[in-house]
Structure 1
């Protein structure tokens, strides 16, 4: 009976421990989900989303800086996200910045090369304004730490309307100039001046059209600038040493033999030089002989 009581108590304690462990796991999962949701709400952009019946037109831009685990992998993931949502990348600058480089000789013919570097990337992308929030939320899983987020929405509805009104005025003025040139232009000077004015109005009209097209493009496609970076990485590799010139020096016996030959060559050169001076030596001998002969007399 006592054994059954102990067994039941042990099973009860095991069940309580297992339940506590499951509760902790659920709490951790809930906290992780809450963190992800918090980052998603921070990085997303629900502001300035115009309604279908609204007459407002927003040019939305976003600038984000955040840390990732691997810049290259996150870059590819973000490019895929942008492509799936109908956007495109206009600029990317992925590079490795070397912070420190050192070499340690580990053997006679090997050196350990250590490089400390940081990888970063600046990306500029364009996405449909209706997909901006979706794209930003999809990038949350790549964010390890969010440094900054700046999102702007400029209402350009009035500017678009102003450009259209100016375009109508210029078109009307252009027609009157054309009619005046055809009916009243008699002299060459008058025609030339009128043509110059007409060309100026046409240029202004074209610039207004281009401004409106540019604004409409910015309204339809939001511009997002991202700066990605990761923690400092270390690369170590063993490289072969270049052989020193001492490795090619001959042994002592060969050096002695070369020295003997060099000395003999110098001795031959001296003899040859002396032989070249035989005329001077002959004159010297004759001079000594003559001196002794006349000295005795």
Structure 2
């Protein structure tokens, strides 16, 4: 009987000790993870005021959101025909829902070159770039850059939403709680400032969305032109000089004849005066 009582006591102590140990373990586990849960839900002391809500962390939202990447490329290549390559590249861009945003063509004695920029949906970026590369005779340079703007994009989105909520609160205060002129002016000033920040954030988001949705490819195509040797100038031949001299003489004679025809009244008057003086002089001598 005593043996059974001892065994029961031992079992009772063992069960009590086990329950106490499990309880302590769970409490420690809860204490370890409690700050993480508070931080995820935003229930920390730094969010006590309306303005402090703008500092909310966006790490968990970033992990759950779609990656935002801005993808661009530059391509410089030699082609057989610049005009043909440009036309085909434009056709490729239109086929993949893109467009040429700007274009500049230059031509000199030795080279014809065209620089143009294509905006293309990011989903067709690689396909278009590979298609245009096939037009090359030689690819001189080809660079692709990618910029991950996911964190910045989500951060701006989160701050924008927070500012809109804060603005709504100030508008509610202005409608129902502002009693004095000073309180009204303060609320209106806060609303005006928040509206400017909201418009700025929305503009930044639109710009980033455009850059993310449409990639930019800058393409330089050039064509080497054949060098044409200019003939060496040996000067005019002897017969050519004679012809030129005759032409000059005829030109001078023509000018003199025209001058005589233009001053014929003066010549007639002068001749008449000369004859008159000669006759008068001959009469005096007689």
Q: What TM-score does the superposition give when structure 2 sets the normalisation length?
A: 0.59
Alignment-derived partner of residue 77 in structure 1: 88
| Residue among 204, 216, 219 paired with 2:209 | 216
| Residues paired across the two proteins, number | 196
SS of the equivalent of 1:86 reads: coil
In 2, distance between residues paired with 1:208 and 1:252?
Answer: 83
Superposition pairs of residues 124-163 of structure 1, within 5 angstroms:
124-163=117-156
In 1, distance between residues paired with 2:254 and 2:215?
Answer: 79
Change beyond 3 A, Cα 1:248–1:175: farther
Q: Greater helix share, 1 or 2?
A: 2
- CA deviations 1:116-147 (Å, max 9, x no partner) are 35211111111111111111111132111111
Q: Greater strand share, 1 or 2?
A: 1
SS of the equivalent of 1:125 reads: strand
Listed as ranges, the gaps of 5+ residues in structure 2 are: 1-63, 230-243, 275-286
- CA deviations 1:77-125 (Å, max 9, x no partner) are 00111111111111111232x3xxxxxxxxxxxxxxxxx3521111111
| Residue among 188, 195, 199 paired with 1:206 | 199
Alignment-derived partner of residue 240 in structure 2: none
Change beyond 3 A, Cα 1:251–1:214: closer
In 2, distance between residues paired with 1:207 and 1:94?
Answer: 37
SS of the equivalent of 2:134 reads: helix
Superposition pairs of residues 36-47 of structure 1, within 5 angstroms:
none
Q: CA deviation at 1:64?
A: 1.0
Alignment-derived partner of residue 177 in structure 1: 170
In 1, distance between residues paired with 2:251 and 2:158?
Answer: 96
Change beyond 3 A, Cα 1:247–1:173: farther
Listed as ranges, the gaps of 5+ residues in structure 1 are: 1-52, 99-115, 237-243, 275-297
In 2, distance between residues paired with 1:215 and 1:65?
Answer: 26
In 2, distance between residues paired with 1:79 and 1:267?
Answer: 78
Change beyond 3 A, Cα 1:261–1:74: closer
Larger Rg: 2
Alignment-derived partner of residue 97 in structure 2: 86
In 1, distance between residues paired with 2:207 and 2:261?
Answer: 87
Superposition pairs of residues 1-297 of structure 1, within 5 angstroms:
55-96=66-107, 98=108, 116-233=109-226, 258=258, 261=261, 265-270=265-270
Q: Is the 8 A contact 2:121 2:214 kept in 1?
A: yes
In 2, distance between residues paired with 1:56 and 1:232?
Answer: 46
Q: CA deviation at 1:181?
A: 1.2
Q: What TM-score does the superposition give when structure 1 sets the normalisation length?
A: 0.57
In 2, distance between residues paired with 1:181 and 1:273?
Answer: 114
In 2, distance between residues paired with 1:88 and 1:271?
Answer: 86
In 1, distance between residues paired with 2:125 and 2:72?
Answer: 9
Higher mean Cα deviation, 192-201 or 263-272?
263-272
